[in-house]
Chain A
Protein backbone atom coordinates (compact mmCIF):
# COMPACT_ATOMS: atom_id res chain seq x y z
CA UNK A 1 0.00 0.00 0.00
CA UNK A 2 2.80 2.33 0.98
CA UNK A 3 4.71 1.37 -2.17
CA UNK A 4 1.68 2.25 -4.33
CA UNK A 5 1.44 5.66 -2.65
CA UNK A 6 5.09 6.37 -3.33
CA UNK A 7 4.59 5.42 -7.00
CA UNK A 8 1.53 7.69 -7.26
CA UNK A 9 3.45 10.54 -5.65
CA UNK A 10 6.33 10.08 -8.07
CA UNK A 11 3.94 9.97 -11.05
CA UNK A 12 2.24 13.16 -9.79
CA UNK A 13 5.61 14.86 -9.38
CA UNK A 14 6.63 13.85 -12.90
CA UNK A 15 3.37 15.17 -14.43
CA UNK A 16 3.66 18.36 -12.42
CA UNK A 17 7.24 18.87 -13.56
CA UNK A 18 6.25 18.30 -17.21
CA UNK A 19 3.39 20.81 -16.93
CA UNK A 20 5.69 23.36 -15.34
CA UNK A 21 8.26 22.90 -18.11
CA UNK A 22 5.53 23.24 -20.75
CA UNK A 23 4.18 26.42 -19.14
CA UNK A 24 7.66 27.83 -18.82
CA UNK A 25 8.25 27.12 -22.50
CA UNK A 26 4.99 28.87 -23.45
CA UNK A 27 5.94 31.91 -21.37
CA UNK A 28 9.46 32.10 -22.73
CA UNK A 29 8.61 31.51 -26.38
CA UNK A 30 5.15 33.00 -26.80
CA UNK A 31 4.22 35.34 -23.97
CA UNK A 32 7.34 37.17 -22.81
CA UNK A 33 8.29 38.50 -26.28
CA UNK A 34 5.20 40.79 -26.19
CA UNK A 35 6.18 42.55 -22.98
CA UNK A 36 7.25 45.83 -24.61
CA UNK A 37 4.15 45.98 -26.81
CA UNK A 38 2.00 45.41 -23.72
CA UNK A 39 3.86 48.14 -21.87
CA UNK A 40 3.27 50.61 -24.71
CA UNK A 41 -0.44 49.76 -24.75
CA UNK A 42 -0.62 49.98 -20.95
CA UNK A 43 1.21 53.30 -20.95
CA UNK A 44 -1.23 54.86 -23.40
CA UNK A 45 -4.18 53.54 -21.42
CA UNK A 46 -3.00 54.61 -17.98
CA UNK A 47 -0.90 57.68 -18.85
CA UNK A 48 1.91 56.87 -16.45
CA UNK A 49 4.84 54.52 -16.14
CA UNK A 50 4.02 53.09 -12.72
CA UNK A 51 0.45 52.15 -13.57
CA UNK A 52 1.66 50.75 -16.88
CA UNK A 53 4.21 48.54 -15.09
CA UNK A 54 1.52 47.35 -12.66
CA UNK A 55 -0.78 46.54 -15.55
CA UNK A 56 1.89 44.53 -17.37
CA UNK A 57 2.75 42.62 -14.20
CA UNK A 58 -0.90 41.91 -13.50
CA UNK A 59 -1.40 40.74 -17.07
CA UNK A 60 1.34 38.15 -16.75
CA UNK A 61 0.08 37.03 -13.37
CA UNK A 62 -3.38 36.48 -14.83
CA UNK A 63 -1.89 34.76 -17.87
CA UNK A 64 -0.09 32.42 -15.50
CA UNK A 65 -3.26 31.75 -13.54
CA UNK A 66 -5.26 30.98 -16.67
CA UNK A 67 -2.50 29.39 -18.73
CA UNK A 68 -4.58 26.18 -19.05
CA UNK A 69 -7.06 28.14 -21.17
CA UNK A 70 -4.38 29.16 -23.63
CA UNK A 71 -3.67 26.85 -26.56
CA UNK A 72 0.00 26.66 -27.40
CA UNK A 73 0.82 28.13 -30.81
CA UNK A 74 -2.32 30.29 -31.07
CA UNK A 75 -2.50 34.09 -30.96
CA UNK A 76 -0.60 34.84 -27.76
CA UNK A 77 -0.35 38.56 -28.41
CA UNK A 78 -4.11 39.01 -28.83
CA UNK A 79 -4.73 36.87 -25.73
CA UNK A 80 -2.38 38.99 -23.62
CA UNK A 81 -3.84 42.25 -24.93
CA UNK A 82 -7.32 41.08 -24.04
CA UNK A 83 -6.18 40.24 -20.51
CA UNK A 84 -4.51 43.64 -20.18
CA UNK A 85 -7.54 45.49 -21.48
CA UNK A 86 -9.80 43.67 -19.02
CA UNK A 87 -7.34 44.30 -16.20
CA UNK A 88 -7.32 47.99 -17.05
CA UNK A 89 -11.11 48.15 -17.08
CA UNK A 90 -11.40 46.27 -13.79
CA UNK A 91 -8.65 47.95 -11.84
CA UNK A 92 -8.43 51.42 -13.25
CA UNK A 93 -11.63 52.46 -14.91
CA UNK A 94 -13.74 51.34 -11.96
CA UNK A 95 -11.66 53.56 -9.70
CA UNK A 96 -12.33 56.39 -12.12
CA UNK A 97 -8.71 57.38 -12.13
CA UNK A 98 -9.24 59.10 -15.43
CA UNK A 99 -11.98 61.70 -15.76
CA UNK A 100 -12.19 61.38 -19.54
CA UNK A 101 -14.96 59.07 -20.66
CA UNK A 102 -16.97 58.72 -23.82
CA UNK A 103 -20.67 58.08 -24.02
CA UNK A 104 -21.20 55.72 -26.88
CA UNK A 105 -24.95 56.06 -26.76
CA UNK A 106 -24.48 59.44 -28.40
CA UNK A 107 -22.64 58.08 -31.37
CA UNK A 108 -24.22 54.67 -31.90
CA UNK A 109 -26.23 55.96 -34.84
CA UNK A 110 -23.07 57.44 -36.33
CA UNK A 111 -21.13 54.22 -35.89
CA UNK A 112 -23.72 52.16 -37.65
CA UNK A 113 -23.93 54.32 -40.73
CA UNK A 114 -21.11 53.88 -43.22
CA UNK A 115 -22.58 56.50 -45.52
CA UNK A 116 -22.26 59.18 -42.88
CA UNK A 117 -18.67 58.27 -42.20
CA UNK A 118 -17.66 58.40 -45.85
CA UNK A 119 -18.96 61.92 -46.35
CA UNK A 120 -17.25 63.45 -43.32
CA UNK A 121 -13.74 62.36 -44.13
CA UNK A 122 -11.08 64.71 -42.82
CA UNK A 123 -8.23 65.38 -45.15
CA UNK A 124 -4.76 66.55 -44.16
CA UNK A 125 -1.91 67.83 -46.25
CA UNK A 126 1.28 65.78 -46.26
CA UNK A 127 3.46 68.78 -45.31
CA UNK A 128 1.67 69.05 -41.97
CA UNK A 129 3.29 65.82 -40.82
CA UNK A 130 6.72 66.85 -42.02
CA UNK A 131 6.69 69.91 -39.73
CA UNK A 132 5.74 68.03 -36.59
CA UNK A 133 7.68 66.44 -33.80
CA UNK A 134 6.81 62.96 -32.58
CA UNK A 135 5.54 64.13 -29.20
CA UNK A 136 2.42 65.59 -30.77
CA UNK A 137 1.31 62.13 -31.86
CA UNK A 138 1.55 60.76 -28.34
CA UNK A 139 -0.24 63.81 -26.92
CA UNK A 140 -2.92 63.64 -29.60
CA UNK A 141 -3.49 59.91 -29.09
CA UNK A 142 -3.63 60.29 -25.32
CA UNK A 143 -6.19 63.07 -25.72
CA UNK A 144 -8.61 60.74 -27.53
CA UNK A 145 -11.46 59.19 -25.53
CA UNK A 146 -10.44 55.77 -24.24
CA UNK A 147 -12.46 53.64 -26.69
CA UNK A 148 -11.12 55.50 -29.71
CA UNK A 149 -7.60 55.48 -28.33
CA UNK A 150 -7.80 51.72 -27.85
CA UNK A 151 -8.69 50.94 -31.47
CA UNK A 152 -6.01 53.28 -32.83
CA UNK A 153 -3.37 51.66 -30.63
CA UNK A 154 -4.45 48.15 -31.48
CA UNK A 155 -4.77 48.72 -35.22
CA UNK A 156 -2.31 51.41 -36.22
CA UNK A 157 0.41 50.80 -33.65
CA UNK A 158 0.19 47.07 -32.99
CA UNK A 159 -1.15 45.97 -36.36
CA UNK A 160 -4.02 43.78 -35.15
CA UNK A 161 -6.69 42.83 -37.70
CA UNK A 162 -10.31 43.98 -37.35
CA UNK A 163 -11.24 40.47 -36.20
CA UNK A 164 -8.56 40.39 -33.52
CA UNK A 165 -9.52 43.85 -32.26
CA UNK A 166 -13.15 42.83 -32.20
CA UNK A 167 -12.24 39.89 -29.94
CA UNK A 168 -9.92 41.93 -27.72
CA UNK A 169 -12.42 44.70 -27.01
CA UNK A 170 -15.61 42.60 -27.34
CA UNK A 171 -17.40 44.63 -30.00
CA UNK A 172 -18.61 43.69 -33.51
CA UNK A 173 -16.22 44.17 -36.45
CA UNK A 174 -18.48 46.90 -37.89
CA UNK A 175 -18.10 48.89 -34.69
CA UNK A 176 -14.33 48.43 -34.79
CA UNK A 177 -14.27 49.84 -38.32
CA UNK A 178 -16.44 52.82 -37.54
CA UNK A 179 -14.56 53.58 -34.31
CA UNK A 180 -11.32 53.45 -36.24
CA UNK A 181 -12.64 55.80 -38.88
CA UNK A 182 -13.85 58.26 -36.28
CA UNK A 183 -10.70 57.92 -34.17
CA UNK A 184 -8.46 58.66 -37.15
CA UNK A 185 -10.53 61.69 -38.03
CA UNK A 186 -10.30 62.96 -34.45
CA UNK A 187 -6.57 62.34 -34.50
CA UNK A 188 -6.16 64.23 -37.79
CA UNK A 189 -8.17 67.10 -36.35
CA UNK A 190 -5.98 67.23 -33.24
CA UNK A 191 -2.79 67.09 -35.30
CA UNK A 192 -4.08 69.86 -37.53
CA UNK A 193 -4.74 72.00 -34.45
CA UNK A 194 -1.20 71.37 -33.24
CA UNK A 195 0.14 72.29 -36.66
CA UNK A 196 -1.83 75.53 -36.58
CA UNK A 197 -0.45 76.32 -33.12
CA UNK A 198 3.04 75.80 -34.51
CA UNK A 199 2.27 78.45 -37.10
CA UNK A 200 1.50 76.14 -39.96
CA UNK A 201 -1.26 77.57 -42.13
CA UNK A 202 -3.82 75.48 -43.94
CA UNK A 203 -3.76 77.00 -47.41
CA UNK A 204 -6.25 74.73 -49.10
CA UNK A 205 -8.94 77.40 -49.11
CA UNK A 206 -6.54 80.26 -49.84
CA UNK A 207 -5.40 78.92 -53.19
CA UNK A 208 -8.93 78.97 -54.56
CA UNK A 209 -9.70 82.45 -53.30
CA UNK A 210 -6.40 83.81 -54.65
CA UNK A 211 -7.06 82.43 -58.12
CA UNK A 212 -10.53 83.94 -58.17
CA UNK A 213 -9.11 87.31 -57.10
CA UNK A 214 -6.56 87.18 -59.93
CA UNK A 215 -9.33 86.51 -62.41
Chain B
Protein backbone atom coordinates (compact mmCIF):
# COMPACT_ATOMS: atom_id res chain seq x y z
CA UNK B 1 0.00 0.00 0.00
CA UNK B 2 2.76 2.36 1.04
CA UNK B 3 4.82 1.30 -1.94
CA UNK B 4 2.00 2.04 -4.44
CA UNK B 5 1.48 5.43 -2.79
CA UNK B 6 5.20 6.07 -3.16
CA UNK B 7 5.09 5.03 -6.84
CA UNK B 8 2.10 7.31 -7.45
CA UNK B 9 3.98 10.25 -5.92
CA UNK B 10 7.06 9.56 -8.05
CA UNK B 11 5.01 9.41 -11.26
CA UNK B 12 3.12 12.57 -10.32
CA UNK B 13 6.36 14.46 -9.61
CA UNK B 14 7.86 13.32 -12.91
CA UNK B 15 4.74 14.41 -14.76
CA UNK B 16 4.90 17.83 -13.12
CA UNK B 17 8.56 18.19 -14.02
CA UNK B 18 7.77 17.26 -17.63
CA UNK B 19 4.94 19.81 -17.81
CA UNK B 20 7.10 22.52 -16.25
CA UNK B 21 9.97 21.84 -18.65
CA UNK B 22 7.58 21.86 -21.56
CA UNK B 23 6.14 25.22 -20.49
CA UNK B 24 9.63 26.56 -19.96
CA UNK B 25 10.71 25.45 -23.44
CA UNK B 26 7.60 26.99 -25.00
CA UNK B 27 8.34 30.26 -23.19
CA UNK B 28 11.95 30.26 -24.40
CA UNK B 29 10.83 29.48 -27.94
CA UNK B 30 8.28 32.30 -27.90
CA UNK B 31 10.98 34.64 -26.66
CA UNK B 32 13.26 33.57 -29.51
CA UNK B 33 10.49 34.05 -32.08
CA UNK B 34 9.79 37.54 -30.74
CA UNK B 35 13.47 38.40 -30.91
CA UNK B 36 13.62 37.05 -34.46
CA UNK B 37 10.83 39.34 -35.66
CA UNK B 38 12.35 42.26 -33.77
CA UNK B 39 15.67 41.67 -35.58
CA UNK B 40 17.39 41.12 -32.26
CA UNK B 41 18.95 37.70 -32.93
CA UNK B 42 22.47 37.11 -34.17
CA UNK B 43 22.82 35.41 -37.59
CA UNK B 44 23.68 32.06 -35.99
CA UNK B 45 20.74 32.29 -33.58
CA UNK B 46 18.49 33.11 -36.53
CA UNK B 47 19.72 30.03 -38.40
CA UNK B 48 19.15 27.82 -35.34
CA UNK B 49 15.62 29.11 -34.92
CA UNK B 50 14.75 28.68 -38.60
CA UNK B 51 16.06 25.10 -38.51
CA UNK B 52 13.87 24.44 -35.49
CA UNK B 53 10.89 26.02 -37.28
CA UNK B 54 11.43 23.73 -40.27
CA UNK B 55 11.84 20.61 -38.16
CA UNK B 56 9.22 21.06 -35.44
CA UNK B 57 5.53 21.52 -36.48
CA UNK B 58 4.63 23.05 -33.10
CA UNK B 59 7.40 25.59 -33.45
CA UNK B 60 6.38 26.21 -37.04
CA UNK B 61 2.81 26.97 -35.96
CA UNK B 62 3.96 29.41 -33.28
CA UNK B 63 6.29 31.11 -35.75
CA UNK B 64 3.57 31.54 -38.38
CA UNK B 65 1.07 32.86 -35.86
CA UNK B 66 3.48 35.53 -34.71
CA UNK B 67 4.37 36.39 -38.32
CA UNK B 68 0.67 36.80 -39.19
CA UNK B 69 0.15 39.07 -36.20
CA UNK B 70 3.17 41.25 -37.00
CA UNK B 71 2.28 41.51 -40.70
CA UNK B 72 -1.31 42.33 -39.85
CA UNK B 73 -0.32 45.16 -37.53
CA UNK B 74 2.27 46.55 -39.92
CA UNK B 75 0.02 46.45 -42.98
CA UNK B 76 -3.19 47.70 -41.43
CA UNK B 77 -2.22 50.55 -39.16
CA UNK B 78 -3.28 53.97 -40.40
CA UNK B 79 -0.35 55.81 -41.97
CA UNK B 80 -0.50 59.54 -42.38
CA UNK B 81 1.23 61.58 -45.01
CA UNK B 82 2.27 65.19 -44.87
CA UNK B 83 0.42 67.59 -47.16
CA UNK B 84 2.41 69.56 -49.74
CA UNK B 85 1.33 72.76 -47.97
CA UNK B 86 2.85 71.62 -44.70
CA UNK B 87 6.07 70.56 -46.44
CA UNK B 88 6.31 74.01 -48.01
CA UNK B 89 5.52 75.70 -44.72
CA UNK B 90 8.27 73.74 -42.93
CA UNK B 91 10.78 74.48 -45.69
CA UNK B 92 9.89 78.18 -45.60
CA UNK B 93 10.12 78.49 -41.85
CA UNK B 94 13.49 76.76 -41.81
CA UNK B 95 14.77 79.10 -44.52
CA UNK B 96 13.53 82.18 -42.62
CA UNK B 97 15.02 81.04 -39.32
Q: Which residues of A contact B (CB under 8 A)?
A: 27, 32, 35-36, 39-40, 42-44, 49, 52-53, 56-57, 60-61, 64-65, 114-115, 118-119, 121, 123-126, 129, 132-138, 141, 152, 155-157, 159, 161-162, 180-181, 184, 187-188
Contacts and interface: CB of A to CB of B under 8 A. Distances in A.
Given A118-B28, A137-B72, 8 more contacts: A40-B80, A44-B78, A56-B90, A57-B93, A125-B65, A126-B68, A137-B76, A152-B73
Contacts of B28: 118
Contacts of A136: 76
A49 B68 CA distance: 29
B30 A121 contact: yes
Interface in B1-51: 23, 27-28, 30-31, 34, 38-40
B46 to A, nearest CB: 15
Contacts of A60: 90, 93-94
A35 B97 contact: no
Contacts, number: 102
Binding site secondary structure of chain A: helix
A61 to B, nearest CB: 6
A123 B93 CA distance: 49
A124 B69 contact: yes
A123 B28 CA distance: 15
Contacts of B38: 155, 161-162, 180
A40 B82 CA distance: 9
Nearest to A153: B77
Contacts of B83: 53
